[in-house]
Structure 1
Amino acid sequence: MTLETKKSVFVELGKFLSQFSENNSIKRPDILQNDLFFEDFIQLINLSQSHNGWYTPEQVCFSIQSWATALTEENLNQWLAAYDLENIQPKNIALILAGNIPLVGFHDFLSVLITGHNVMVKTSSNDQHLLPFLAKYIIAIAPELASKITFVEGKLENFDAVIATGSNNTARYFEYYFKEKPSIIRKSRNSVAVLNGKETKEQLVALGEDIFRYFGLGCRNVSKLFVPKGYSFDAFFEAIFEYQDVIHYEKYANNYDYNKAVFLMSNFKLLDNGFLTIKEDESHASPISSVFYEFYENIEDIQNRLQTEKEQIQCVVSAGLIDDSVDFGQTQNPKLWDYADNIDTISFLLTI
């Protein structure tokens, strides 16, 4: 199967995904295999919250639309232009996926197949349905991919390399268990935002997207704010009021009540708006429904600190205050060439 053919398969998948939104999914006559898959995918989207309480139709559709936007011929060409993908000797690549946000392992799945390797997928118990469905769709378009894709329920065996994602604790297990194999082992990371007090309301509203999308469960969600000494949070709270409906989701509300109670019983000083608590804390990893903050005196100190702690950080958000930072509201819209943990997955797959 040529590289151009593989690209075309994923372009067709992108077109298929582009049909689905939370309130207005429209079946298009030009989409391949639509009669077989359109209605079933709508049903799966609607059932996703019963499989995982965090996977609301809104969040699942956001992920689907993000991938629809990414999977275009232009994006695939730009992403892959830097690599030599000819004459690849196919190997069996095991993927151990997380399940914190919908389709979180799709980029690894795509990377393995686009490089010509065979993929062996161990899904998370929290996300067992979406990726297998998309695999069935691309196999319907290109039946020759059937022999390249395996979903494994039991023990992983007969693989040549592994890409595994988990917590810091599970990463230690992965590192030991897979020490004899080429591997990418991803650990817990968090994202931070650096503010200077001059942000517009529109920028702060967009920052709310970085905080609340997927209920804050992703490594690309902002969980920590760096703010200048004396910073007033009034404008921040006013801007993020747009996201107040998040408290109506039971799982989020339960976390809000629990974490707020823990903070108060520990006599921590909190700022609270009824659906988000913010707490001064040096850690980057805040619990669900909470964001930590820390004061700074000059940007250079923060720039140096973030560089020192880069192994803990997935994204930095700012209005150009920090080198290579992400714009407000864009953390959950990575490009195909924005690799998790800044590890080039394609280069890894080409060296096995």
Structure 2
Amino acid sequence: MLQNVKKDSFIELGKFLSQFSLDNSQQNDAVQHNDRFFEAFETLLALSQSHNGWFTKEQVYFAVNSWATALTETNLDLWLSRYDFSKVETKTVGLILAGNIPLVGFHDFLSVLISGHHVLVKASSNDQHLIKFLANYLIVIDKKLEESITFTDGKLENFDAIIATGSNNTARYFEYYFKDKPSIIRKNRNSVAVLNGNESQENLVNLGEDIFRYFGLGCRNVSKLFVPEGYTFDDFFNAIFAYQDVIHYEKYANNYDYNKAVFLMSNFKLLDNGFLTLKEDSSYSSPISSVFYEFYEDLETLRNRLTNDQEQIQCIVSNDLISHSIPFGQTQKPQLWDYADGVDTLEFLISI
């Protein structure tokens, strides 16, 4: 029953978020507490880029709309039906959240609360306003949640388990510091796309969404292309021309200019269309405004490599060339049951 009560609160939150769109936000009289929260949230969304220069209105509204779509009764029921929460003993779970994209840590926040635990949140300074606003809305919906939600700006203390997200360097610190606690420690991951030259124009346009959404800052953004020997990028460049406006954002443009200059000074061969560089490179992690590519001889060898490197990879995009791959254009639209790093967060929370 506890999950049902909390589920209802998140359904109400989803209804609240569904009122907001980039072009035409509209109040729905059936949504609770609009008198207190609607205009305040619109103001916060308008200010988001002043809090974090990467959080443009388009990107923030996309994140909000994604959560509005996810937080429906149908989705929550489908997600939660897979688990038995009957033996959960309430613990306090610490969260150390990333701040690379808007509301990136909200899934962990949701998971801890919906599983019956208390959450102790250390939000990133790059994304601390949105999640606190949504937490306040939830508390007004259900006053009992106030006992279950705590934010801290200081050192995490008095917790029973931890979910921490950071770089590979910070992950080593987390693993040492939290070695005596049940934990999920997330490291750097990147996403890749596997092409065979038979992709449609629509596929390649959608691949641009996987590359440019959130300016490529997320672990689900495609940062590496695998293409067959002899592949030419003409169709790819024609398709992604639709995303050319990305260069008008100053922070992205600065990264484009800087990274291109670094590559050229190092005498690297580049393909360039004026807002994205392509560089042949075996690494998975490309800098902002650049995508790496690598040629493959046969798909079976590539499948084996991707399997061996799975701890470095978040998503694989293809037209079913690789098993369990994601369709083009869908990397930034995960379902509630699409867990980061493939680690089932709810299963972990039930077990602690």
Q: Give the TM-score, by structure 2 length.
A: 0.99
In the alignment, the residues of structure 2 paired with residue 227 and residue 35 of structure 1 have an alpha-carbon distance, to the nearest angstrom, of 53
Distance in 2 of aligned mates of 1:207 and 1:154 = 40
Aligned length: 352
Residue 147 of structure 1 pairs with residue 182 of structure 2:
no
Give the structure 2 partner of residue 269 of structure 1: 269
Q: Deviations over 1:325-350 (max 9, x none)?
A: 00000000000000000000001001
1:174 corresponds in structure 2 to: 174
Quote the Cα distance in structure 2 between the aligned partners of 1:77 and 1:30. Answer: 22
- The residue number in structure 1 matching 2:314 is 314
Q: What is the deviation of 1:5?
A: 1.2
Residue deviations 1:274-294, cap 9 Å, x none?
000000000000000000000
**5 Å matches for 1:177-192?**
177-192=177-192
Q: In structure 2, how many angstroms separate the alpha carbons of the residues matched to 1:240 and 1:321?
A: 21
Q: CA separation in 2, counterparts of 1:49 and 1:128?
A: 13
For each residue in 1:34-53, what CA deviation from the matched residue of structure 2 results, as whole angstroms up to 9, or x when unmatched? 11100000000010000000
Q: What is the CA distance between 1:9 and its match in structure 2?
A: 0.7
Matches of 2:116 and 2:329, distance apart in 1 = 34
Q: Which residue of 2 aligns with 1:137?
A: 137
How far apart are the structure 2 equivalents of 1:320 and 1:267? 36
Distance 1:18 1:294 in 2: 41
| 1:67 CA displacement | 0.6
CA distance in 1, matches of 2:114, 2:191: 28
Question: What's the CA shift string for 1:64-94, capped at 9, x where partnerless?
Answer: 0111111111111111111111242110000
1:230 pairs with 2:230: yes
CA shift for structure 1 position 155: 1.0
Separation in structure 1 between the aligned mates of residue 226 and residue 334 of structure 2, nearest angstrom: 22
Q: Distance in 1 between matches of 2:122 and 2:345?
A: 18
Q: Which residues of 2 match residues 233-252 of structure 1 at below 5 A?
A: 233-252=233-252
**Which deviates the most, 19-28 or 42-51?**
19-28
In the other structure, the counterpart of 2:102 is 102
Match of 1:211 in 2: 211
Deviation at 1:161, TM superposition (A): 0.3
- Alpha-carbon separation, structure 1, partners of 2:25 and 2:39: 10
- 1:67-82 map, 5 Å: 67-82=67-82
- List structure 1 runs of 4+ shifted beyond 3 angstroms: none
Amino acid at match of 2:59: Q
Deviations 1:147-195 (A, max 9, x none): 0000011111100000000000000000000001100000000000000
**How far did 1:105 drift?**
0.3
2:340 aligned with 1:340: yes
Q: Is residue 210 of structure 2 the alignment partner of residue 196 of structure 1?
A: no
Deviation (angstroms), 1:4: 1.1
Whole-Å separation in 2 of the counterparts to 1:338 and 1:18: 21
Gaps of 5+ in 1: none
| Aligned-partner Cα distance in 2 for 1:171–1:152 | 20
After the TM superposition, which residues 40-59 of structure 1 pair with which residues of structure 2 at under 5 Å, given as runs? 40-59=40-59
Q: Distance in 2 between matches of 1:292 and 1:225?
A: 6
- C-alpha distance in 2, partners of 1:15/1:297? 49
d(CA) in 2 for partners of 1:282, 1:324: 22
The Cα shift of 1:22 comes to: 1.2
The residue matched to 2:30 in structure 1 has which SS? coil
Per the normalisation by structure 1, the TM-score is 0.99
SS in structure 2 at match of 1:278 = strand
Q: Partners in 1 of 2:35 and 2:303 — Cα distance? A: 52
Query: C-alpha distance in 1, partners of 2:45/2:302?
Result: 41
**The residue matched to 1:63 in structure 2 has which SS?**
helix
Which AA in structure 2 matches 1:139?
Answer: I
SS in 2 for 1:260: helix
Offset, 1:21: 1.2
2:32 alignment counterpart: 32
Cα separation, 2, equivalents of 1:27 and 1:249: 30
| SS of aligned partner of 1:334 | coil
Shift of 1:2: 2.0
Distance in 2 between the 1:162 and 1:7 partners? 22
Q: Paired residue for 1:118?
A: 118
- Seq. identity, %: 71
What amino acid is aligned across from residue 6 of structure 2 in structure 1? Answer: K
1:252-263 equivalences in 2 (<5 Å): 252-263=252-263
1:198, 1:82 → 2: CA distance?
37
For 1:224 and 1:2, the matched residues in 2 are separated by 43
Q: Distance in 1 between matches of 2:301 and 2:63?
A: 35
